[in-house]
Amino acid sequence: MLVEFKTHNLNTPIEEERVFKYSRKDRRRLNALFIIQNALKVDLVYIIWSRDYSKIKVEVNPFSDFKKNKITKVCGWKDLKDIFLKFQT
């Protein structure tokens, strides 16, 4: 599992955030992540937290079908451990 962390600083809903949202600006960083993901053959987990830390969004992009099988969950911090345990099985 490869994990990318991001703070959501805008006044837009965290639900609208996703790994490809800023693909033009973040092209080099995303390319590096995809190279690592392919080399390790692991899922990419994208974690975004809200400005006030009240919400967290977890987006899992599976290695096997990166763009098609996206799993997304918006939750509070207390739910994060359960989410990771679910994705590991």
pLDDT, position 72: 66
Q: In what order do the strands lie in the sheet with 44-49?
A: 2-7, 44-49, 56-61, 71-75
pTM of the model: 0.70
pLDDT, position 40: 92
pLDDT, position 86: 65
Output the tens digit of pLDDT for each of the chain's 89 residues: 888 888 877 778 888 887 777 777 878 888 888 889 889 988 888 888 887 778 888 888 877 765 555 666 777 767 777 766 665 54
pLDDT, position 71: 62
| C-alpha distance from residue 44 to each of 1, 11, 21, 26 (Å) | 6, 26, 15, 16
Q: Note whether 16 and 57 are within 8 A (CB).
A: no
pLDDT, position 88: 58
Range(s) of the domain holding residue 55: 2-88
d(CA 16, CA 57): 10
Q: Please tell me the total count of domains within the chain.
A: 1
